[in-house]
């Protein structure tokens, strides 16, 4: 089994020393670097390059520079996707965003998880767990979403939150760790 196959299966895999994964990350980061250098007025060029970096997008997508990801091919963004400046998506596993997702500045989505055991961690081993975001979700600024989390439709995640567990639909959730504090009437 290759390291990439182990990653996709949610097993411990070597991300730091596997040449295939290193090459794929390098290619994605080169494209992100190119994207971040495009003029803001080049909306067509920005959209075209995003559609080349990401696995799937809707027609209406905007990510303000700077944007960084690990691979790109694990990211799917629905229609009307908007992310403000300094978005980081460590997409070792799938990161799927529904329609009408709005992300504030300085937000991060991490699918990679490193072992607590120092010996394993020092060998470059990690696991990856997908992130799923529903439709009509809004993230305030400086939100961090950790591996394996699902966020339900119509949720609002307050600024500065660290999302460590699943968030149900139709709630406002805040804090570290992020927890629902209010239901949203639809």
Cis, bond preceding 41 (omega within 30 deg of 0): no
Per annotation, catalytic residue among 114, 123, 129, 179: 114
- CA–CA separation, 166 and 108 (whole Å): 16
* Short-list 66, 152, 148, 139, CA closest to 107: 139
Q: Catalytic site residue 114? A: yes
Active site residues: 114
């Amino acid at each position: 089994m290759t390291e990439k196959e182990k990653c996709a299966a949610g097993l411990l895999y070597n991300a730091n020393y596997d040449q295939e994964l290193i090459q794929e990350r390098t290619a994605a980061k080169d494209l992100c670097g190119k994207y971040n250098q495009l003029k803001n007025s080049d909306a067509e060029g920005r959209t075209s390059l995003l559609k080349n970096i990401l696995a799937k997008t809707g027609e209406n997508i905007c990510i303000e520079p700077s944007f960084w990801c690990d691979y790109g091919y694990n990211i799917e963004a629905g229609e009307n996707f908007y992310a403000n400046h300094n978005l980081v998506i460590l997409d070792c596993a799938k990161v799927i965003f529904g329609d009408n997702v709005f992300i504030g500045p300085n937000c991060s989505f991490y699918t990679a998880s490193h072992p607590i055991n120092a010996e394993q961690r020092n060998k470059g081993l990690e696991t990856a767990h997908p992130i799923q975001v529903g439709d009509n979700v809004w993230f305030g600024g400086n939100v961090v979403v950790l591996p394996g989390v699902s966020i339900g439709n119509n949720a609002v995640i307050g600024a500065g939150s660290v999302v460590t567990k699943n968030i149900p639909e139709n709630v406002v959730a805040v804090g570290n760790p992020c927890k629902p504090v209010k239901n949203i009437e639809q």
